[in-house]
Chains A and B, each alone.
Chain A
Amino acid sequence: MIVRTGLTGPFPRSEALVAATRDLDRGRVTPEVVEDLYGRTEAEVVALERRLGFTTITGGYLRSADLFRPFAETWEGFTVGPLTRWFETNTFYRQPILHAPPERVPGAIAARLPPALRADPARAGVLVPGPYTFAGLLENRSGEAEEALVHRLGRLLAEEVRELAGAGYATFQFTEPLLVDRPPERALAEAVVAAYAAIRASAGSATTLVWTYGADAVPAFPLLDRLPVGIVGVDLAETDWEAIPSSAERRGLGLGVVDPRTTLVEEAADVVRIVHALKERRRPSVVWLGPGGPLDLVPWEPATRKLHLLPAAQQMLSREGGGGP
């Protein structure tokens, strides 16, 4: 069993960046000053990711406004809508409004990727919305049924993956909190499976992850186990790990072991105990350890402190013969 680690969502902005971006909104600093700070802070996150031995480098997606914004601002058919609460958090996203069947603009998403990713595509962790969450959280004025929209978004995301994989990007994470918050049924569930089949077909040898969080994943496992992706991740602060069903198929399992809802640092020994139990039950080919959700729900300093859990758990597992990154 191989153990991998990495961020599974945006990293918080540093206190200096918080102050600078606030000052930018108040007209007290220039965009150039803030951009320079973004660059330096992103370099700090990259250095941290390297120091902690993460499998992927993300740079923390510090500039990212929300998960959908790069798509809502560049794909055709969208406008950016009102502030909307992001699940059960005190954070908000601007709801994309879809007026017509969406169309991607080649190269547009690649150009919006953080500079840290563009510098090293082979090790980059590309974070994108999953087709089900995307379809479910936008305001659909296009007239297209949700199943058809999931299909269409799956195809468009597959094209993005093909383009990016062609440029050397090797790891794609599809963020899908809605899969566990509101598990799809029947035709909609089939549309989700089909969307990921399209994505898988475009990904070539790249690693594909579906990362869920924010709700108990156990009811969604019958569907999660059907998704044709390399790794499916679940949030262990919301999911009772003892209730995760067994599986005969050796596939990758992502475990959200860093809880972004508390500043308390988790114990590596607890993580190792859970991995052992799930190893028996699911025989995963790969275990991916990461934050259970977006770590920017905690400030910079505690987020940094909490991440040290991941290499600690990885090393304990490796010493026991669990494999390296």
Chain B
Amino acid sequence: MSARLFPAQEIGSLMKPRWQILGQHGEPLDARAREEFRGANERYHFADDAPAAAAALLDGRSREAGAEGVRDLGALFALRLLEAAGLARVYDGEARRIEMYEYPIRQMRGFQFQGHVRSFDNKYYLKAAVTDEVRLERPYHVEEFDFVRRHARGEPKLPITGPYTLADWSYNEHYLARRPGWKGPSVRRAAQREFVVDLAQRAIRPTLAALIERGCRVIQIDEPAAGTHPDEADLVVEGFNAATDGLDAEFSMHICYSDYRDLLPELLEAKRCRQWAWEFANRDRDGRDGYEVLKALAEYGDSRSIGLGVVDVHRDEVEKPELVADRIRRAAKYLGDPARLWVNPDCGLRTRRIDIATRKLEAVVAGAALARAEFENPRA
């Protein structure tokens, strides 16, 4: 627990700047990208730690900067942006990651990509099937973390996709096929349990262990699929417990866009989870109190800290600090303990332009300062 009330933390990815996208594809920067780079560097001085790559990029020699060099710059930019906004816990905006499913799956054996599935309209995602036992090629996110650890001025907090979500977003062939006969609901559930636990034990846990060995102390396990099948909350927990078994780090679980009441009390059995990092601001509108659900945690007597989503990542409108402070105030009331609150955006800000994401992060910090002043000087 932090000594100050309401410390701020990152929660996920940031939009990649145009210069990074062009640069890592080996394309020269156009005038707009160059101007964005220069403007950002004047503000954050992020290129100081990678001057050769920055010079090559600005000089139209993107290939010479190299994809990794450009990604280094992207990671430094995100780190400095988060630090400048006043966050206590930072990461690299997931500057090296494309998304949260395909990359981890490609670090494992036992999967075959099957093709694209439509999410809505003309939006699709790639999906793999597990066709053999899950095996980890090698722990992942390790070099990424090393880079952050070397360069971060705040405390690094690493996000990693959890076993339940990786299983839910994959097709289960192998674990189903091992069971003879018709694959009805009970067979499907048992096979999914095996899949989740195998992913947790054989892929996620060794990766977490490698990260911890490198000094990673704060780890956020992302389980956005948890809310998709509320009746499988026990599988989410089983995966979480298997992935973190015997490991010593400060683990949190990030879930978003779910009715958390449907996941309780099963979720509370996640033994080594020390923080629930959930989205709330998105539902705090139109007369609805998005934070009231915290009462349920209080009723169950759960005493873990909360990563409180106080800004909505799906709308451009930037929350005023007063609104953020009000949200913190309500959450503190429902929990009955302000000292358990961290503040953060609802989810990754990659859906918002960098300038809007920056202002939202600043609103998080400013709102926390307002609330802190009230709680620390109640008569002021």
Cβ of A274 within 8 Å of any chain B Cβ, yes or no, is yes
How far apart are B84's CB and chain A's nearest CB, in angstroms?
33
Contacting residues, chain A, for B127 (C-beta < 8 A):
298-299
**A18 in the interface, Cβ–Cβ < 8 Å?**
yes
- Cβ of A146 under 8 Å from chain B: no
Compute how far the CA of A264 lies from the CA of B228 in the bound complex, rounded to whole angstroms: 22
Min distance, Cβ B23 to any Cβ of chain A, angstroms: 20
Chain B residue at minimal CB-CB distance from A20: B122
Question: A interface, how many residues as a size bin?
Answer: 35 or more
- Cβ contact within 8 Å between B119 and A25: no
Could you tell me if B183 and A299 are in contact, using CB atoms closer than 8 angstroms? no
Q: B229: CB under 8 A from chain A? A: yes
- List residues of A (265-319) whose CB comes within 8 Å of B's CBs: 266, 270, 273-274, 296-302
Q: Whose C-beta in chain B lies nearest to the C-beta of A26?
A: B122
**What is the distance, in angstroms, from A316's C-beta to the closest C-beta of chain B?**
15
A residues less than 8 Å from B183 (CB atoms): 237, 259, 262, 264, 266
The answer, among A239, A264, A300, for a CB contact under 8 Å with B185, is: A239
A91 interfacial by beta-carbon distance below 8 Å? yes
B186 within 8 A of A: yes
Whether B171 pairs with A263 at a CB distance below 8 angstroms is yes
Give the residues in chain B near A301, CB-CB below 8 Å: 114-115
A89 contact set on B, CB distance < 8 A: 228
| Inter-subunit contact B171/A264 (CB<8 Å) | yes
B121 at the interface (CB under 8 A from A): yes
How far is B173's CA from A225's CA once the two chains are assembled, in angstroms?
Answer: 34
Name B184's contact: one of A85, A241, A262, A298 (CB within 8 Å).
Answer: A241
Contact with A along B135-175 (1 / 0, CB 8 A): 00000000000000000000000000000000001011100
Contact of B115 with A15 in the complex, beta carbons under 8 Å: yes
Q: For residue A15, which residue of chain B has the nearest CB?
A: B115
Q: Which residues of A contact B121 (CB under 8 A)?
A: 65
Once the chains bind, are B118 and A91 in contact (CB under 8 Å)? Answer: yes
Q: Is A264 a contact partner of B122 (Cβ separation < 8 A)?
A: no
Residue from B120, B176, B181, B229 within 8 A of A92 (CB atoms):
B120
Q: Is the CB of B124 within 8 A of A18?
A: yes
CA distance A109 to B122 in the complex (A): 22
Instruction: Kindly provide the distance from the CB of B349 to the nearest chain A CB, expressed in whole angstroms.
Output: 18
Q: Does B125 contact A (CB under 8 A)?
A: yes
Contacts of A40 in B (CB 8 A): none
* Chain B proximity of A12: nearest CB distance (Å): 7
Are B176 and A24 in contact, with the CB atoms below 8 A? Answer: no
**B300 at interface by CB-CB < 8 Å:** no
- The reply to whether A262 and B228 form a contact with Cβ atoms under 8 Å apart is no
User: Do A90 and B171 form a contact, CB below 8 Å, given A25-B122, A270-B181, A299-B116?
Assistant: no
Asked if A42 CB lies within 8 Å of chain B CBs, one says no
A interface residues with partner B (beta carbon < 8 Å): 12-13, 15, 18, 21-22, 24-25, 65-66, 83, 85, 88-94, 216, 236-241, 259, 261-264, 266, 270, 273-274, 296-302
Q: Other than the known A237-B185, A264-B172, A297-B117, what 16 A-B pairs have Cβ atoms closer than 8 Å?
A: A12-B115, A13-B118, A15-B115, A22-B124, A83-B120, A91-B119, A91-B120, A94-B120, A236-B182, A240-B184, A262-B173, A262-B176, A262-B183, A264-B173, A273-B182, A274-B182
Interface residues in chain B, defined as those with a beta carbon under 8 Å from any beta carbon in chain A: 114-122, 124-125, 127, 129, 169, 171-173, 176-177, 181-186, 188, 225, 228-229, 257
Residue pairs across A and B with Cβ atoms less than 8 A apart, 27 shown, are A12-B115, A15-B116, A24-B122, A65-B121, A88-B228, A90-B169, A90-B228, A91-B120, A92-B119, A92-B120, A216-B185, A237-B184, A237-B185, A239-B185, A240-B186, A241-B182, A262-B173, A264-B177, A270-B182, A273-B182, A296-B118, A298-B127, A298-B171, A299-B127, A302-B115, A302-B129, A302-B171
